[in-house]
Structure 1
Amino acid sequence: MTKRRVVVTGVGAVTPVGNDIETTWKNIVSGVSGVGQLTRLDPEDYPVKVVAELKDFDVEQYIDKKDARKMDRFTHYAVAASLMAVKDSGLAINDDNSHRVGVWIGSGIGGMETFENQFETFLNKGYRRVSPFFVPMMIPDMATGQVSITLGARGFNSCTVTACATGTNSIGDAFKVIQRGDADAMVTGGAEAPISRMAMAGFCANKALSTNPDPQKASRPFDLNRDGFVMGEGAGIIVLEELEHALARGAKIYAEIVGYGATGDAYHITAPAPEGEGGARAMKMALDDADLSPEDIDYINAHGTSTDYNDKFETMAIKSVFGDHAYKLAVSSTKSMTGHLLGAAGGVEAIFTVLAMQDSILPPTINYETPDPACDLDYVPNEARKQDIKAAMSNSLGFGGHNATIAFRKYQS
């Protein structure tokens, strides 16, 4: 069976470096950090003092105030980014095509803040005072559900929950839905609002977060002095479309998505498999699916969390897949600027990958000061660099041993 070609025709995001894609991308290319002091919670309650929060996000630009009260913040972010992406794509969803337009948006932890607040209400006031919207606010699939309702998209509808691999798995799975003919367009990516009391407590307890109090130093992927990741929040959504469908309506095309790999470590609940073995298989799987050779790849948007094991093992995985070419391609972690958006990371980073290809520019890894002998690739340190990018990949690796990679190439007719 001939595989249908799939292209990216729209992008939308709300991130710690911007509440729209234009501001976000300008700041990423300029090396502007979205990491700052923790304000959403009392920093005295935690050893972690810095996070990557959204700034001045106004949900009422996208959702009626009354309806917004019935949604968790992660759903607010998903709806906002999806509306941006669909507007950017120029895709009109109507009665004629709505059954062929699907939504696949994931979230790593869903409505954690809602759960915390409603449980407190239950403890203090009893079950009768718990909101009747509690469950539909909390469950991770409600982002994709609310986006579907907002857009009127009645096609394939699903939600992925694979921790920090969620966004990339969602895009990869949506890609396959179109490729096999079950939809003509998919609105896909990830959304997360994890800066909440228990989420912060849990990640502090397992010592995953950086305790560096300096916002300009805390998120430092691949640097020898990294000490953990910085929690971020937001959403990244793209519109995927079958090529002929996009061409028929004269859509602009950012890039073609050509490969997807997903594997499991079967090793540990939080630590990656030794030498990044599972991540290496995901990258190899994506290359094979795309019919690309290692030498075809010019750039990798790395998972690059700024944790000791991830950065070291992801580097090893890249070297095992790409051999000598690993030292010729560029690898950068935009988490150095956005922090780690957990289930939304893959969505945001897919956007950065296709925009890098479109603009022929490599986004930097900022805060890179002291090289780590175990991390010896070209991480595009501190400043963006102009370079033609014909093919690129984006990696996401999650708790539970989830590994996901998607591959893009410049569109050619």
Structure 2
Amino acid sequence: MGVVSAVGNDLPTFWRSLKEGRCGIRPITIFDTSAYRSHNGGEVDGLSPESHFTLRDLRRLSRCDQFGIIAAREAMNSSRLDQGEIDRERFGIILGADSGGIFSVEKYFRAIYTHASKRPSPSLLLSFSLAATTDHIAQEFDLLGPRTTTATVCSSSSAAIAFAYDAITSGAAELMISGGSDSLCEVTYAGFNSLRAIDSEGCRPFDKNRQGLSLGEGAGILILEELAHARARGARIWGEVLGYGICAEAHHLTAPEPSGEGIARSIRLALADAGIAPEEVDYINAHGTATPLNDVVETRGIKKAFGKRAYEIPISAIKSMIGHCLGSAGGIAAVATLLSLHEGIIPPTINYATPDPECDLDYTPHEARKKEISIAISNSFAFGGNNVCLVFSKV
């Protein structure tokens, strides 16, 4: 696995920050936010592109591409794959994306319209394609197997992991790179501000006084492999994908269906696909965006899916620390969920001060918690009712 985020640009730093409850949401510096009601976000910090890429590469790679490639390199380096023995035609990639390379395109056109003396390379415009990061990673590692990009906003990279799982279980591939990458950009930031969906005071999932999300950026990349194949070569195995549930609500372009039934259905489908009973789930990595409606509806959906058992399952919302990373949110959440399984530690939900009577489950407030975890689920619920639930197990 590999990760780039507002709280760490490699797996050890990211995981240490989550366990410590470190907040990575800070004033945005990569573009001017003075015109907006909010000025904060989960901006990636401390990453030096020059130490990872040549100047030629930097002229053609967007910020999103850079995040994805860096995380993919970390995943590949830690996978112990023998590059000489990989069947490239059986090694594919499916990534999720949302804003993609829009930030780089904004920089390009801003330079043109302000008649800047130094303009970015026109090759950056190629990053406007949401598939650009997928394509760059496929080229870097010579991947000749199944390749595609999913774009369902907040659930994009969870859907990508589900489809990568399908590619392996169907026999179409032996290895798949999956997850997602996304970067902050002004057009998305402006849009969420205009919707009044951003909390100017920070991200407070499930807190009574929450007012909205904090946007973030980064990448969460995983290498999926058939279990027997991974064991045979002595791979380091973080966990197993047992199954997934995907469903739609067809209710509204931005608001979730208020009863929570769509969310509950995705969880039920995931558990059925995995062959897991509700009583076996030990941890839920929540979508937890901190919008007034979404957190209530997710809570309702969890209750519908688990019944009284919902009150016994620890839940946490890592967006309180890294922000909502849109197209990469599910990939980063999957990485965090697998780390929780592997180490038996549940990261906290920070900024939780005032309980909400409508959000009355165990959200693991303030401090990480040690717990033996055998089965965990990761929730991703997107605009338009694009719901995805992934089920992971300890190996």
Q: What's the TM-score, normalizing by structure 1? A: 0.92
What residue number does 1:4 align with? none
Paired position in structure 1 for 2:161: 171
Could you report, residue by residue, the CA deviation over 1:294-320 in whole angstroms, capped at 9, with x for unpaired residues?
011010000000111110000000000
> Is 2:20–2:368's contact at 8 Å kept on the other side of the alignment?
yes
Q: How far apart are 1:49 and its partner, in Å?
A: 1.8
What is the alpha-carbon distance in structure 2 between the residues aligned to residue 257 and residue 130 of structure 1? Answer: 41
Partner residue in 2 for 1:254? 238
Aligned to 1:14: 4
What corresponds to 2:87 in structure 1? 97
- In the alignment, structure 1 residue 226 sits paired with structure 2 residue 216: no
Q: Is the 8 A contact 2:213 2:289 kept in 1?
A: yes
2:222 counterpart of 1:238: yes
Q: In the superposition, relative to structure 1, how do residues 119 and 197 fare at CA in structure 2: closer, same or farther (>3 Å)? A: same
* RMSD over aligned Cα atoms: 1.6
1:23 is aligned with what amino acid? T
CA apart distance, 1:134 = 4.4
Counterpart contact for 1:59–1:80, Cα < 8 Å? no
Match of 1:314 in 2: 298
Cα deviation, residue 130, structure 1: 8.8
> Which of 62, 65, 80 is 2:52 aligned to?
62
**Structure 1 partner of 2:321:** 337
Q: Residue 328 of structure 2 aligns to which amino acid in structure 1? A: A
CA distances 1:141-169 after superposition (whole Å, capped 9, x unpaired):
01110001111121111100010001111
**Seq. identity, %:** 41
Q: Distance in 2 between matches of 1:231 and 1:170?
A: 21
The answer to whether the aligner puts 1:29 opposite 2:13 as a matched pair is no
Residue 58 of structure 1: how far off its partner (Å): 1.4
Report the secondary structure of 1:43's partner residue: coil
Residue 31 of structure 2 corresponds to residue 47 of structure 1? no
2:73 is aligned, of 62, 83, 91, to 83
Give 3-state SS (helix, strand or coil) of 1:44's partner: coil
CA drift at 1:114: 2.4
Query: Could you tell me how far apart the structure 1 residues matched to 2:120 and 2:50 are?
Result: 24
Q: How does 1:263-274 map to 2 (within 5 A)?
A: 263-274=247-258
Q: Does the 8 Å CA contact 1:16/1:54 hold for their aligned counterparts?
A: yes
> Is contact 1:35-1:338 (8 Å) kept?
yes
- What residue number does 1:156 align with? 146
* Equivalent residue runs for 1:284-363 within 5 Å: 284-363=268-347
* SS of equivalent to 2:260: helix
**1:261·1:285 contact (CA, 8 Å) conserved in 2?**
yes
| Pairwise CA distance, 1:94 | 3.9
1:119-142 deviation line (CA, Å, top 9, x unaligned): 3456567xxx89542442111101
SS of residue paired to 1:262: strand
Q: C-alpha separation between the residues in 1 aligned to 2:160 and 2:52?
A: 23
Deviates more, 1:108-117 or 1:360-369: 108-117
- Which amino acid in structure 2 is aligned with residue 210 of structure 1? D
Question: Would you say the 8 A contact 2:59–2:124 is kept in 1?
Answer: no
Give the Cα–Cα distance (whole angstroms) in 1 for the partners of residues 104 and 251 of structure 2: 32
Task: Assess if the C-alpha contact under 8 Å between 1:93 and 1:152 holds in 2.
Answer: no
Q: Deviations over 1:174-221 (max 9, x none)?
A: 011101111111111011112x22221111111111122xxxxx1110
Q: Counterpart of 1:379 in structure 2: which amino acid?
A: Y
Provide the secondary structure at the position in 2 that maps to 1:144. Answer: helix
Give the deviation of 1:36 after TM superposition: 1.0
Instruction: Give yes or no for the alignment of 1:198 onto 2:187.
Output: yes
Match in the other structure for 1:389: 373
User: 2:387 maps to which residue?
Assistant: 403
Q: Under a length normalisation based on structure 2, what TM-score does the superposition of the two structures give?
A: 0.96
In the alignment, the residues of structure 2 paired with residue 65 and residue 264 of structure 1 have an alpha-carbon distance, to the nearest angstrom, of 43
| SS of alignment partner, residue 114 of structure 1 | helix
Q: Structure 1 130/354 Cα, relative in aligned 2: closer, same or farther at 3 Å? A: closer
Distance 2:104 2:39 in 1: 23
CA separation in 2, counterparts of 1:62 and 1:100? 27
Q: How many residues align?
A: 393
- Aligned-pair CA distance for 1:115: 2.7
Aligned AA (2:362):
D
For 1:184, give the aligned amino acid. Answer: E
Partner amino acid for 2:140? T
Q: Is the 8 A contact 1:287 1:293 kept in 2?
A: yes
CA contact (8 A) 2:59 2:120 kept: no
Output the CA distance in 2 between the equivalents of 1:100 and 1:59. Answer: 31
- Which runs of at least 4 in structure 1 moved beyond 4 Å after TM superposition? 121-125, 129-132
3-state secondary structure, aligned to 2:154:
helix
Decide whether the 8 Å contact of 1:31 with 1:383 is kept in 2.
Answer: yes
1:113-192 mapped onto 2 (5 Å cutoff): 113-120=103-110, 123=113, 132-192=122-182
Offset of 1:112 from its aligned partner?
1.2
Instruction: Give the C-alpha shift of residue 92 in structure 1.
Output: 2.8
Say if 1:16 and 1:55, in contact at 8 Å, map to a contact too. yes
- 1:6: which partner in 2? none
Mapped to 2, the partners of 1:148 and 1:63 lie a distance apart of 16
How many angstroms does 1:276 deviate by? 2.1
Post-superposition Cα deviations, 1:47-78, rounded to whole Å, max 9, x if no partner, equal 10211111111123332221122011111100
Supply the distance in 2 between the matched residues of 1:172 and 1:96 (Cα, whole angstroms): 22
SS, match of residue 400 in structure 1:
helix
Aligned partners of 1:189 and 1:238 also within 8 Å? yes
The alignment partner of 2:83 has SS state of coil
Unaligned runs of 5+ in 2: none
C-alpha separation in 2, matches of 1:297 and 1:160 = 27
Aligned residue identity for 1:160: T
Mapped to 2, the partners of 1:319 and 1:271 lie a distance apart of 19
Alpha-carbon distance in 2 for matches of 1:209, 1:324:
32
